[in-house]
Amino acid sequence: MSRPATRDDLSALPVEVAPRLLGARLETVVGGERVVLRVTEVEAYHGRGTGEQPDPGSHARMGPTARNATMWGEPGHLYVYLSHGIHSCVNVVCAPDGVAGGVLLRGGEVVEGADVAERRRLERRGAVRSARDLARGPGRLGDAVGLRHPVHDGIDAITGVEKAGARARLLLAETPVRDVATGPRVGVAGVAGTAAFPWRFWIEGDATVSAFRWGRGAAEAAGG
């Protein structure tokens, strides 16, 4: 069972909110086509001045910019950014009022609209090897749910108000997920991608969770 998320649900620090998003549903309707995703893997990112430990891996680590403006806004909006010039990645904005933060949706299971998600994936990236790969990894997830940078950046997943032909709603699991694992974030450079920041959370044993890989210099930083 699930319920609509509220801004209050998302007003804590990202590292606190992130595990609560496991098992949540993200529902999108883009161009009249509906997809529902069950979230299985997330990562927390803090903005400048957020929490006790500065986060060198965050887009908002240096303060507000045109790129990260959505991260400094109301909780519950979705920060949709472009990675490597091609991947639209989806984050749930969260943090206390006046500071920046977000939770990257790294992986999920498509529970409704799999045919739509698969077509979108095929159009953008070619063959889909298996159902578990539809939204396994943040770029694939962005393709599957149909949200694109820059037109959908800032879309409100609390009210469901339309933006650029799309609607999004976030629904939280009534019962917390069991078997939550935590560890370093995937592909994040330097110390920000080590166990110093165990801010990746996933459902242990779920097939839709992406594989871990070190970011540039992270393995060296982890080794001392």
| Residues 6 or more apart in contact with residue 136 via CB below 8 angstroms | 107, 208, 209, 210
Beta carbons of 83 and 139 less than 8 angstroms apart: yes
pLDDT for the residue numbered 30 = 98
Q: What is the pLDDT of residues 36-67, one digit of tens each?
A: 999 999 999 999 988 888 999 999 999 999 99
Strands (E), 6-86: 25-30, 33-46, 78-83
> What is the reported pTM?
0.96
CB atoms under 10 Å from CB of 42, counted, come to: 27
pLDDT for the residue numbered 224 = 56
| Ranges under pLDDT 50 in the chain | none
For 40, phi then psi, to 5°, come to: -120, -10
Beta carbons of 195 and 184 less than 8 angstroms apart: yes
Q: What is the pLDDT of residues 168-200, one digit of tens each?
A: 999 999 999 999 999 999 999 999 999 999 999
